[in-house]
Amino acid sequence: MKQIGMKYSGSCHCGGIKFEVEGDFQEGLECNCSMCSRKGSILGFVPRENLKLLTPEDRMATYLFNKHIIRHHFCKTCGIHPLAEAKDRSGKPTAAINLRCLENFDLGALKIKKFNGAAL
């Protein structure tokens, strides 16, 4: 079910990937897995239907690693990773938004939650 929240615009650096997302992002997740520690992304999670891609899907390249559960999308042109897609524990499609890629979003007000992804 769609979650109610603020609507934000987000993009990669060059604008090849643009999206709108509705979410209540009070908390950002900082993961220490081999991927996230390199990217430095701060993640916010929403049901997949809260994410609307405004650019063609094929502008995104997809990277898979470990158990191939998360589809890490990045821009083929500028290399920025604005989002990922996966399923939550109950099998519901979920989007992980890199909150650093949102416009008019106050990262400083976020509560940062550390996630031990390296242990997975």
Query: Which residues form the interface with Zn ion (CB under 5 A)?
Result: 12, 14, 16, 75, 77-78
Name the residue nearer to Zn ion (CB basis): 16 or 23: 16
Cβ atoms 51, 30 nearer than 8 A: no
What DSSP assignment string belongs to 9-22? EEE-SSSSSEEEEE
Name the residue nearer to Zn ion (CB basis): 2 or 76: 76
At its nearest, how many Å lie between Zn ion and the CB of residue 24?
27
Name the residue nearer to Zn ion (CB basis): 17 or 35: 17
The Cα–Cα gap between 109 and 105 comes to 9
